[in-house]
Structure 1
């Protein structure tokens, strides 16, 4: 590992005065930042990046997003505000995007231990099909403990554990009825599985198209068996229970998934019932 090359032409950012050390400047590559979808006075803290080993080319970050309160005289103290944990994703571990601004772990109700600020720990532990992530939370705002009139403090901070099901970080949801059409991709393997929650009344149908979006005979929506219920690994089948898609491997295809009252979290191609995940390459 080598340090990032320093660019002497970039002027230091003396944010805290000339007698303090400057923070890293713009000579470092930008991995994640606020953008136009964030409100004014928003900072990105504590990225908590993790190379996710249970999916292909998947990096996750769980930054604390800090919305500042007004500074004095409009507010009670300097550098104060609330922090929640959001999620960001990357395919290379360098360029991250936040799919939306929904909190990954939301703030708690005022007066609880989660009501002020939250910071995700690095990494996660897998126990079967459950993922455990540890985070620190406090009922105090960022600088609330040192404000002229400090907020009521239950405890400064505690460590908590968040538990969720495998691969269910974010999903594509169709509250009524909707479609998902993937970019052209190539896969290896012979079966397709979905991580999907259709609940009791929802459903999904799956079609495999060619690169131009034309249904491939034997894999159309009309021939798809309906997917119902809540599944981490639902094998997709077509007419007469057909699950073998190996004839389409290594050629450009697109998946078209029609859903109603359902949420799709992930899909994967498998080499068989006892073999691990296979690869997907996007033709983009």
Structure 2
């Protein structure tokens, strides 16, 4: 059994350490969007061939696979006399958790509830406290003060899973809030609680890199794969970092809606054709 399925702290690592555009990140994206569609197993040669269509040399693929195996994402498994890789049960659970976030961006309405997380963690649990802050930030929680975090109520189950996996439940108190009162405007509060400039840069960079896809004509199924995988790889961290704040809390020039629309249109255009091409490459 992989370490990710036995270590409760590993269970919440998910994808937060992935660097979009790196070979390992692209391999994770191909596994999640395409190898799972094949049933969760792929021959070594076929996986290398898919990544080669993205310009990735075979040696780099082997290095990325070694990292994914060490992370508990892949296991080696032979089928029908062929050596291959199987997505582990722990990784399948990770991908299932991620699908609603990546393919269904959530946006708060003005009257939606908030989830508040208050914690006082002793110095003896300093490492776990650091991991808690890191992981809450990675799913879109904002910092009201050093011991108080905030997120939309719909993120409460994810936050709770992180707290439990880190075995910190005894130090945490949570609240459901329907009204926020701040010294200044809610827009000013959001700018203080979240790093909105950094998040806006992520949206704008995504738009700059990929808006040209929609202007391309007559894409073949293979070309859909070659264009959509890098787009999906860059996109998939954004819905985690962006909590989907209500419009009145965001800057007037917020690029999020345009970014969300670009991904949705690219998904409708490319995901199924690219999967069709991947299926056609299998014996």
- Larger RCO (CA within 8 A; separation ≥ 6): 2
TM-score bracket, normalised by the shorter chain, equals under 0.3
User: TM-score, length-normalised on structure 2?
Assistant: 0.23
